[in-house]
Structure 1
Amino acid sequence: MRKTALCLPFLLLAAGAAHSQDVQDQSACPRLPADAGLSWEHLSTGDADICRALREDGSEAFGLYIAADSPFEPNRRNREEEGSVAGQEVLWYRAELANNPDIEARETLIELDDGRVAHVWLQAQSGDQLQQVFGITRDLRFGASPLLETQIAAGQ
């Protein structure tokens, strides 16, 4: 496992921080569950979008790098658990944060309906927090507008 796998999105964020927005950008980032208690920080970098789900204290719960291709290459030796992201079955891979080895970190890839891929990474302080973030990523919704969400909730 390359320790730099989780560093790429952070480097891209640093390079374009002036362009980031603390908004729920429905055209770029997936819909968060209403009860997630998170907000998006979005950065568009040409052909890619980076979405960071931030907790109220500013720490990152998880992030996504959405593009035609991903620099992340899953390594079978680092498989940790099965799960789902936005309704798709996935294998989560253990990741290492060089500057903080006590953090539980995982990453995976999913294919989106529009042909792009999303590299999803997450970080947690504990096993309980890891399970909480798994639940949030499981309930993400890509490509859903607020109007569609309202119609779905109303059973229309």
Structure 2
Amino acid sequence: MKTIYPLSVLVLSALLTVPGMVKAQQAPVRCPVLPASSGLQWEERANTGFLACKARTEDDSKSVNLLLTSRDPDLRLSRSRRAEQGVFSGQPLHWYVPELAGQDESAVASKRIAVVELGKGQYAQIWIDAKSPEALAELQTLAGKLDVSTGTAYLVSGN
């Protein structure tokens, strides 16, 4: 069965692969603060109405992708793909196993996606890509501790 991705997933994927993304240490960052021990570095892309953040290891073995937007991402997540419960920036959520066209279940076993409404007109779409169940659990715990208040303030102010 062919999976059709919502526009927000495609936009996030495209934005996070665009050359010239701003590295965290080169400019003021609106992405959440990462613990130094995480081994992750943010890449950031911002425009009117959205902030795209990608935290990844140097070897790309794991990453957390975050899209903060002032528009509902309208991502339809199938209840049958629901996995763990969690928290993101103080908001409860359910993690879902993504449906990736052409990928078998083993290829998506350590990947998760979630959408959270942070406030009126503020949404977060979170995508975790890990290589092992242990790395997945680590990144889910990390996501639960992230504070996106700087990013949501950016959505409101545009600065």
After TM superposition, is the score higher than 0.5? yes
Taking the aligned partners of 2:111 and 2:33, their CA distance within structure 1 comes to 22
| Match status 1:106 vs 2:112 | yes
Q: How much does 1:3 deviate?
A: 5.1
Residues 1:45 and 1:60: Cα distance change in structure 2 (over 3 Å): farther
- The CA RMSD over aligned residues, in Å, is 2.7
Taking the aligned partners of 1:72 and 1:123, their CA distance within structure 2 comes to 18
Runs of 4+ aligned residues of structure 1 deviating over 6 Å after TM superposition are none
% identity of equivalent residues: 27
Q: Which residue number corresponds to residue 86 of structure 1?
A: 89
Residues 1:99 and 1:26: Cα distance change in structure 2 (over 3 Å): farther
Taking the aligned partners of 1:123 and 1:80, their CA distance within structure 2 comes to 15
Taking the aligned partners of 1:41 and 1:71, their CA distance within structure 2 comes to 24
SS of the aligned residue for 2:149 comes to coil
Give the stretch that moved more between structures: 95-104 or 62-71: 95-104
Question: Residues 81 and 93 of structure 1 are in contact (CA less than 8 Å); yes or no, is this contact kept in structure 2?
Answer: yes
Q: Show the 5 A alignment for 1:7-22.
A: 7-14=10-17, 16-18=18-20, 20-22=21-23
TM-score normalised by structure 1 residue count: 0.76
Q: Which runs of 5+ in 2 are unaligned?
A: 152-159
Give the stretch that moved more between structures: 110-119 or 43-52: 110-119
SS of the aligned residue for 2:147 comes to coil
Deviations 1:94-115 (A, max 9, x none): 1034465424211111222574
Question: Residues 30 and 141 of structure 1 are in contact (CA less than 8 Å); yes or no, is this contact kept in structure 2?
Answer: yes
Number of aligned residues: 143
